[in-house]
Amino acid sequence: MTQQEFCLQSTTPDFFFPNVNLAVYLDGEQVHKNRELKDKELSNKLKRRWGCTVRRMVYHAPLTKARKAEIVAQILDDHEGLRRMKR
């Protein structure tokens, strides 16, 4: 064989909604600080390879109830918007 695909990076979203192909990552600043470029590259690969819509939600620890509510609302909005687009 002269061409062989290899998976060199793996990523697991925090949430995945297969019905609309939406991958959601909760990026805590303490872990993802200074990783923005790598995270963006992984997001672009997911989009190119699998057609995923990728949403990255940044939060600062501790994750407050208010921020959780904002994140859930944004995920629901994204899901609903993508669902409408698929119709």
Q: What is the pLDDT of residues 14-37, one digit of tens each?
A: 999 999 999 999 888 777 677 888
Within 10 angstroms of residue 9's Cβ, the number of other Cβ atoms is: 8
Residue 33 lies in a domain: yes
Q: Report the percent of the chain where pLDDT is more than 70.
A: 89
Cα separation, 39 vs 34, whole angstroms = 10
- Is 6 part of any domain? no
Is position 8 within any domain?
Answer: no
How many separate domains does the chain show? 1
- Which DSSP letter does residue 58 get? E
Mean per-residue pLDDT of the chain? 86
Domain-located, residue 47: yes
Q: Assess if residue 9 is contained within a domain.
A: no
Instruction: For residue 81, tell me if it sits in a domain.
Output: yes
7 part of a folded domain: no
Residue ranges making up the domain that contains 78: 15-86
